Amino acid sequence: MKGKIGLVVGLGVGYVLGTRAGRERYEQIKTQWLKLYHLDPVQEQVDKVKGFVGDKAAAVPGALWTGAVKVVKSVKSNGTPGQKLDAVIASGKEAAEEVADAADDAVDEVKAKANASSSAAKPAAKKPAPKKPGA
């Protein structure tokens, strides 16, 4: 219940502040954002991310399909309705774990790629020299 109240209060505050700032300020913010978004370095990164995520996200639908096939096969199996239900629940859990693993793998690969490209672009930060006591 607290979450719903917080959401309503947040929406109300956002509405009030947004209406006070007015349409002109909104247009200024939008214009600045579009200028930034259309810069060549930003677009290069956007294209890289789109291509990489598109490649890695292809694994998730495959895992979904495999899970759906397992669930359908467990429904068609012989046995009592209780046994069928247990089989569907078990295969559903397995399918959910496979989808979660595929999604986690895709996310991990994206993070690794992002960290590799950001660490290659930035020089290593130097640690400040330790201060001597009494100095």
Q: What is the pLDDT of residue 72?
A: 75
Q: What is the pLDDT of residue 125?
A: 52
Helices within 38-80 (DSSP H only): 40-57, 59-76
Q: What is the pLDDT of residue 122?
A: 54
68: pLDDT strictly greater than 80: no
What DSSP assignment string belongs to 81-102?
HHHHHHHHHHHHHHHHHHHHHH
| Distance between CA atoms of residues 93 and 54, nearest Å | 26
DSSP 8-state class, residue 129: P
| Distance between CA atoms of residues 86 and 88, nearest Å | 5
| Distance between CA atoms of residues 29 and 22, nearest Å | 11
Specify the higher pLDDT residue, 121 or 62. Answer: 62
Specify the higher pLDDT residue, 68 or 130. Answer: 68
Specify the higher pLDDT residue, 123 or 64. Answer: 64
Specify the higher pLDDT residue, 19 or 41. Answer: 41
Q: Which amino acid, one-letter code, is at 124?
A: A
On whether the CB atoms of residues 101 and 63 are closer than 8 A, the answer is: yes
| Distance between CA atoms of residues 128 and 134, nearest Å | 17
Q: What is the pLDDT of residue 100?
A: 80
Q: What is the pLDDT of residue 121?
A: 55
User: In angstroms, how far is CA 68 from the centroid of its own chain?
Assistant: 23
